[in-house]
Homo-oligomer: A and B are copies of this chain.
Amino acid sequence: MGATVMHPTTVQVVLDLVGIFVFAITGALVAVRKDLDVFAVLVLAGTTGLGGGFLRDVLIDAAPPAALADWRYLLVPVVAGLVTFFFHPALGRAERVVNVLDAAGLSLFCVTGAVKALDYGLGPVPASLMGMVTGVGGGMLRDVLAGRVPLVFRGDLYATPALVGAGVAVAGLEAGLHLAVVAGPAAVVCFGWRVVAMRRGWNAPRPAGSAST
C-alpha cells in the first residue's frame, strides 16, 4: 500500500489535479468578488488548491510538499486562476456546479490526505484528522488571507463529512482492505453527505444561547 501511494498512479494524479483545479477556482472567485487584482486571484487560487496539502505535509514531516516537486501541481492553480479571472461571470452563474465540484474535491482530498498520513506512520485518529485538514485547510487559508472568518465555521456541514470520509478510509485500510476497494466508498460517504447537506440546508448545531461575556 505504501508503495502505491508514494508513487501514485496516473489515476490518482489526475484526480488530485482535478481536485486542486476546483478548489483553486473557489479561491479565485473569492478574490474576484473582493475586487482584488490578478495577482491576488492567482495567490488565492494557489493557496486554496494547494494549502490543505501543504499543511498536511508540513505537519506529518513530508516536506517539501509534493506540489513543489512537480510543476503540474503549480500549473493547475495558475490555469484555474486565469480562467476565473477572465470568465468569472459565467462561473458565478454556475455556482451550483462549482459547489458540487468543490464537494468532489473535498471527498477526494480527505481520502488521499488520510492515506498519505497513514503512510507516514500516523495512527488512525491523527491520520483521519490529517485527512480532514487536507480537505478543509486550503479553504481556511483562503478565508484568513481574504480577511473573513473561515466559511467552514459558518453553519453548513463541511468539515464533518470530510472527517467521516477520512475515517472510513482509515478504518478500511486498518481492517486490511486494499486502497482500491476502500477509496471509492469513503469518498462517496463524504460527497453524498456534503451534497445532501447543501441541498437541504443542513447545519451543524450551534451553542444554545450566547455566553455571558
Q: Which A residues contact B (CB, under 8 angstroms)?
A: 29, 31-41, 43, 54, 58-61, 63-65, 67-69, 71, 74, 85, 88-89, 91-93, 95, 120-123, 125-126, 129-130, 140, 144-150, 152-155, 157-160, 203-207, 209-213
When distances are taken between beta carbons in the complex, the residues of chain B under 8 Å from A31 are: 153
Q: Is the CB of B38 within 8 A of A206?
A: yes
Q: Is the CB of B88 within 8 A of A211?
A: yes
Q: Which of A123, A160, A207 has the most CB of B within 10 A?
A: A207
How many copies of this protein are present in the complex? 3
Q: Is the CB of A211 within 8 A of B153?
A: no
Docked complex Cα distance between A127 and B33 (Å): 30
From B37, B60, B64, B88, A68 is in contact (CB under 8 Å) with B60
Docked complex Cα distance between A36 and B54 (Å): 26
Asked whether A149 and B34 contact (CB < 8 A) given A64-B60, A123-B71, the answer is yes
Nearest-CB distance from A45 to chain B (Å)?
12
Known: A37-B154, A43-B152, A89-B209. 6 other contacts (CB 8 A): A33-B210, A37-B205, A39-B204, A43-B153, A61-B63, A147-B147
Q: Is the CB of A123 within 8 A of B204?
A: no
Nearest-CB distance from A97 to chain B (Å)?
14
Q: Which of A63, A85, A157 has the most CB of B within 10 A?
A: A63
